[in-house]
Structure 1
Amino acid sequence: MKRLVKLVLGLALVLGLAATASAKQLVVAHDTNFKPFEFKGEDGKYTGFDIELWQAIAKIAGVDYKLQPMDFNGIIPGLQTGNVDVGIAGITIKPERAAVVDFSDPYYDSGLMILVRENETGIKAVEDLAGKIVAVKTATSSVDFMKSFGKAKELKLFPNNDSMFFELMAGGADAVIFDMPVVKEFAMTAGKGKVKVVGPLYQGQSYGIGFPKGSELVGKVNDALKQLKADGSYDKLFVKWFGYAPEKK
């Protein structure tokens, strides 16, 4: 009997240690400056649509995590090396990215739009960017889009949104081209009266949550996303951060 008790206790200890090891704290990377998806609030803590969406997903999935802010161009490499477990930063689902990391189901539909100074009258569409200096964000879809356009005088690459917008307002660039919700938010807030959005939506895109290849988290996150959309929680978050309801598909 004593041997049996010792065996049971030993097995329980082993199982307990294994459970502790498997329930590791996930490293969740996000952009440092991608308002309204992620940004530092007045209290010094990061907030935004992506941050609160992940909080809701993690609660349903039952995972422990810590947020890791970093420049956007470091997130995909971090997922590839396994230094990052999850990336949520308005990451466009593109074939070249999907070849090296796994993605969740799409959670936001976006695209690119042009931002110019308020008094600009000569730029109304991408064709008008020929011979112009255009500010773009490093390692984003806007860089690929402008390279494929191929007619800009110069592409100025910046690591974060603020740098792009300040360059435009200071006259160092003729336009910014970047993700629609971000340029619209800036034009309505900090850039109000100084900049404006022009032209149509280019290159319709979907954002997905990124994972290392083969991650077991993908299915759990997709299930959580479906639940949040079904119970109305996703819509409430969307309205909170964008001011309007998402389009129903």
Structure 2
Amino acid sequence: MSGHIRNVIPMLIFWFIWLARNDSRFNNIRMNHLAIINRIKEKVFALFSANLITYKNFSNVFSTAEEFGIYNLGSLHSSGSRWSNWAAPNPLCFKINIHLDLYGDKWCIGGVIRDSVGNYIAGFAGDSKALDELRGFLVAVNHGLSVCINLDLYNVMVESNFLVDPTMFLVHDGTSCGHPSFYLRRHNMGLREVLNCSFNVINVEVNSVARALSLFGSSFNAVVDLNFDLLPANIQGLFFLG
């Protein structure tokens, strides 16, 4: 898509307002300005992921890119290295990158599992069915760890840009056993007892593949596992950028 982002955004605003108007008129779906804003953000990120808009579309307004989840402009292409952003785990280890985002009224997750040389092992994406960010994050972690156990992967690092409070993984959170995340935490404890598991917090720009998967997952009604050949071309291309 050609043109500066200042010209692209008004076109997207017009387009998504028109779609929302049609949904309201013909499908009895109430117009929601927050949903329209989210759809615009999703579209810009998808266009960037597919290389249909690039850094030069943000010339002189680089700070605007962060509103769309695009960080450290120039860093993706500053090196010819495939892993200029994503750091491989130690040999015989596996890494799960997960991301959680709110799309409309759904906390959607995305995750990718890679080995120590960066090979794609498995991926997943979809609606976590969570009512808040913490539960959505726990759903993402539990799903990723469950996939690892099913694939006999027992030395695992979980990476996310979610600021992890270690107490969230304890069975008892210091309040009551009726805490809404209690059963998710207990399930997580059971999974981690089987796995040699660690957690790491990273910057969101390093988590680009998982973020793109969470956006892709916003079209699903549940979390689904994804083989590499089932991924959209733009996510496959983003995977090879790091």
Q: TM-score, normalised by structure 1?
A: 0.28
Q: TM-score, normalised by structure 2?
A: 0.29
Specify which structure has the higher proportion of strand. 1
